[in-house]
């Protein structure tokens, strides 16, 4: 089940129907087992790992903000920027600038 999530790091909703067919469990069972194993719901785990991935992509400097937003399945760069700011306290551009100054 973890392989399913680790290959789909994005803000896209969790496909519980597809996952349920894949592992033969109901949504409730998936949530319970996942939370017991990780301490997080599948959705919270995905968002946490999406934020980690966003920071890594910003730090690498190889992709534009728009390209990162696309890769993480945001509807647009503005949505990504608002989401990132809510979690980090600063915009993706400012975060990238700060990280580059530290390195």
Domain holding 85, by residue range, is 2-102
Q: Are 91 and 77 in contact (CB under 8 A)?
A: no
Between the alpha carbon of residue 14 and those of residues 30, 60, 85, the distances in Å are 11, 27, 23
What CATH number is given to the structural domain containing 44? 1.10.10.60
Residue 61, pLDDT score: 85
Domain count, the chain: 1
pLDDT tens for the chain, 103 residues long, are: 666 666 677 888 888 898 899 889 999 999 999 999 999 999 999 899 999 999 999 999 899 999 999 999 999 999 999 999 999 999 999 999 998 887 6
Q: Give pLDDT, residue 12.
A: 85
Q: Using CA atoms, how far apart are residues 79 and 73, in angstroms rounded to an integer? A: 10
What are the backbone dihedrals phi and psi of residue 54, each rounded to the nearest 5 degrees, phi first? -60, -45
DSSP states of 16-78: HHHHHHHHT--HHHHHHHHHHHHSS-HHHHHHHHHHHHHHHHHHH--S-HHHHHHHTT-SSHH
Q: How far apart are CA 54 and CA 59, in angstroms?
A: 8
């Amino acid at each position: 089940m973890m392989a399913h999530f680790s290959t789909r790091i994005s803000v896209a909703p969790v496909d519980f129907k597809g996952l349920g067919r894949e592992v033969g469990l109901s949504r409730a069972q998936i949530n319970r087992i996942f939370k017991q194993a990780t301490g997080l719901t599948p959705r919270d785990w995905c968002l946490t790992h999406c934020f980690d991935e966003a920071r890594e992509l910003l730090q690498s400097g190889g992709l534009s903000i728009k390209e990162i937003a696309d890769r993480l399945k945001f509807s647009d760069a503005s949505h990504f920027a608002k989401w990132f700011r809510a979690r980090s306290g600063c915009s993706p551009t400012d975060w990238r600038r700060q990280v580059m100054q530290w390195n």
